[in-house]
Amino acid sequence: MTQKKQQYDAGSITALEGLEAVRLRPGMYIGSTDTKGLHHLVWEVIDNSIDEHLAGHASRVDMVIYENGHLSVTDDGRGIPTGMHEKLKKSALEVVMTVLHAGGKFDKDSYKVSGGLHGVGVSCVNALSDYLRAEVHREGKIFVQEYSVGKPTTEVVEIGATERTGTTIEFHPDPTIFDTTDFKFDVLAARLKELSYLNSGLLLTLTDEREKDEEGKPRYEEFFSEGGLKEFVEHLDEGRTPIIESPIHVKGKEENVEVEVAMQYNTSFQEHIYSFVNNINTREGGTHVNGFRRAVNREFQKYAEERGFFKKLKFKVSGEDFREGLTSVVAVKVPEPQFKGQTKGELGNSEVTGVVSRIVGSALKNYLEENPKDVKRIIDKVILAATARHAARKARELVQRKNVLTGSGLPGKLSDCASKDASISELYLVEGDSAGGTAKQGRDRHFQAILPLRGKILNVEKAMEHKIYENEEIKNMFTALGVRIVEEEGERVLSTENLRYHKIIIMTDADVDGSHITTLILTFFFRYMLRLIEEGYIYIAQPPLYQVKKGKQFKYCWNDDEMRNAIKEVAGKGNESTVKVQRYKGLGEMNAEQLWDTTMNPEHRILKQVTIEDAVAADLIFSKLMGDEVAPRRKFIEENATYANVDI
């Protein structure tokens, strides 16, 4: 007995050293300890269940958030093996849960994720949880083991009989490690939805016991897709008008690399490619995306040229033209993926380019031959795109050349700041000339510049590109910011080398029109200057909604709660009725001093930084709000009424 115990301890020591490192430097393993890192734990746990599905053994995954803040993931796979691990003299279950990088699978055929942030293993989750419980249904028996901060607190015990197989991991994140331990329903639901498209046939469910309806039923959602990526593309294009009957769907496998692609052409002018490797979003693309683009360009070019469709054009049709208005999802499964790039969001495996290009190429060839009507519509659109791009380039060159020629080249409407140091300089984009005037008086001219925009700026979601460069407000934004669009290897990129301000602040009225204008400006940044959002340069100013005033005393309030409190404070208890409340509907109702105090003074103002937390979600919102289809826009505005009804 004593000997056995010693062995147990000796075995645990190496394991604990590994997991101790995880607790010491959690950021190295899960990215961060904020809400993003917290949810990373969940992705890590579901990844294992998804792997069971990919190996052909699991058909559903159920996630539950409990009232006490625990979260569990249950699958109906084979169950983690519980037998003795020969070398370590411990249950395999304990090895998987307590040894760093032991992983789940011992077989080489599975598509495990190496590099990137996923794939650090469920033992990391264990190390970062103050409580974890693993329950395995296997070979007719139920086995359970519990842990705390990565260490077993019980042996593996058999607690009963069962007719099913599968694994449940229930855990509670360690609050001494994480800034927050509050799981977000929407974040989890968005990922489960995405996973359902990426793994057709797999049922995923989410139950939130923290939120109950009148009958006491917890909040519950199911995610299931029969059509997989085809349905994913249809979902992404909900707000757009398709031009071909149904998405083109390609599936194939070569040399252990599985490829699935779905693509749809719509009447918009943008290209949207969402790409995944082993279910993980590769935001920066990579070799799989290159292979896809190569195939699309090659097959369409060949098809159109063989039939003489481009004979009359006086300019070359470029790769971009074949992909205008194209929404696609490219998903590959690669046994040993290598991730590159700043955020490890780019696939590096060079062999994947050829595989994707061949599989997509041969499927497209067939499609082109078998669907002449749809293809005709696509080719017409390509020709239109090429023509428009030709016109746009001329318009853009004209605008950009003018800047260089006319000295400072700055727009007449810009009230520039004195500082030439971009890192401290701010540009306020202000709705209307009158608010612009107030802002100009109120600002600190040393570092704050003002550019008034006239009314509603052009809706770039609906406009052709060359129209954009003809638009006065948009031209002014380009020149004031000092950015240019340049072509590199046939692709357009935003050059921010000469960016003149590191804070670009959208300041509009706190009413429906104001938020519409903010959305229009954001759509412009999203489509044409995405880099500025990605690099964190775009902000939204938050003017106050009320001023509560009595005599010489006053307070600014940003919401109704603050306003009610301020009334009590300013008027004194029992004196509420004699107080004056001013509701600000427009920036114009504030004088220069008030605007400085509340909205522009860096010491008091509230700025909301615009981030792209989830490009897929953001994009969906933009196309719904700005696209052709009215119904999804109305639905979105209704569902997000708080966004639209600041105007009481």
Cβ-count burial of 401 within 10 angstroms (0-12 exposed, 13-18 middle, 19+ buried)? Answer: exposed
Q: Which is nearer to ligand 0RA, 166 or 345 (CB)?
A: 166
Q: Which is nearer to ligand 0RA, 94 or 619 (CB)?
A: 94
Q: Tokens for 331, please give them.
A: 């998903």
Q: Is 647 a catalytic residue?
A: no
What ranges make up the beta strands (E) of 228-271? 248-254, 257-265
Count the neighbouring beta carbons within 10 Å of the beta carbon of residue 43. Answer: 19
Q: Is 444 a catalytic residue?
A: no
Q: Is 511 a catalytic residue?
A: yes
Q: Which is nearer to ligand 0RA, 15 or 233 (CB)?
A: 15
Helix or strand holding residue 372 (H, E): helix 372-405
- Answer for the pair 482, 449: CB distance below 8 angstroms, yes or no: no
Q: Which is nearer to ligand 0RA, 44 or 416 (CB)?
A: 44
- Answer for the pair 628, 240: CB distance below 8 angstroms, yes or no: yes
Q: Tokens for 482, please give them.
A: 């000092």
Q: What are phi and psi of 419, to 5 degrees?
A: -65, 140
3-state secondary structure string across 34-99: CHHHHHHHHHHHHHHHHHHHHCCCCCEEEEEECCCCCEEEEECCCCCCCCEECCCCEEHHHHHHHC
Binding site for ligand 0RA (CB under 6 A): 48-49, 52, 75, 77-81, 104-106, 167
What are the residue ranges of helices labelled H in 75-221?
92-98, 122-127, 185-198
Provide, rounded to whole angstroms, the least separation between the CB of residue 278 and ligand 0RA.
15
- Answer for the pair 228, 198: CB distance below 8 angstroms, yes or no: yes
- The four Cα atoms 384, 385, 390, 396 give a dihedral, to 10 degrees, of 130
Provide, rounded to whole angstroms, the least separation between the CB of residue 95 and ligand 0RA.
10
Provide, rounded to whole angstroms, the least separation between the CB of residue 206 and ligand 0RA.
17
Count the neighbouring beta carbons within 10 Å of the beta carbon of residue 631. Answer: 10
Q: Which is nearer to ligand 0RA, 93 or 233 (CB)?
A: 93
Q: Is 51 a catalytic residue?
A: no
Q: Which is nearer to ligand 0RA, 64 or 485 (CB)?
A: 64
Provide, rounded to whole angstroms, the least separation between the CB of residue 447 and ligand 0RA.
54
Active-site option among 76, 416, 431, 465: 431
Provide, rounded to whole angstroms, the least separation between the CB of residue 52 and ligand 0RA.
4
Provide, rounded to whole angstroms, the least separation between the CB of residue 85 and ligand 0RA.
11
Q: How far apart are CA 202 and CA 613, in angstroms?
A: 26
Active-site option among 221, 271, 284, 511: 511
- Answer for the pair 134, 97: CB distance below 8 angstroms, yes or no: yes
Provide, rounded to whole angstroms, the least separation between the CB of residue 81 and ligand 0RA.
5
Q: Which is nearer to ligand 0RA, 78 or 549 (CB)?
A: 78
Catalytic residue annotation: 431, 509, 511, 513
